[in-house]
Amino acid sequence: IERLCSSPLHENISTALDKHLESIRVVQARRKDEIVNVSSRQRHGPPRCQDERVVLALAVALRALCLATRKVRTALWCAFQMTPPK
């Protein structure tokens, strides 16, 4: 988009994109933790308390990703509106 408008975009747009990418990475890490926890539980028996913490951490990460996605969609829409038609 910066190439289209021949000038750098507002810093909030870059910040929103960075936060969205970071949220994606956090969700991936939490999902990986959940998979590891489930596979170890099948071998050793059910420690329920740890399971719930892992699932809650994943839920919190998904909520943060949802909020970051909304913000990045708005930021990209604003960036698109700032690019002049050719």
pLDDT in tens, 39-75: 776 666 555 556 788 889 999 999 999 999 999 999 9
pLDDT in tens, 18-28: 999 999 999 99
Crossing angle for the helix pair 11-44 and 48-82, to the nearest 10 degrees:
160
pTM of the full structure: 0.79
**Cβ atoms 16, 72 nearer than 8 A:** yes
**Cβ atoms 7, 59 nearer than 8 A:** no
Question: Within a 10 A sphere around the Cβ of 81, how many other Cβ atoms?
Answer: 7
Output b/e per residue, 59-74; b: 16+ Cβ within 10 A.
eebeebbeebeebbee
* pLDDT for residue 52: 82
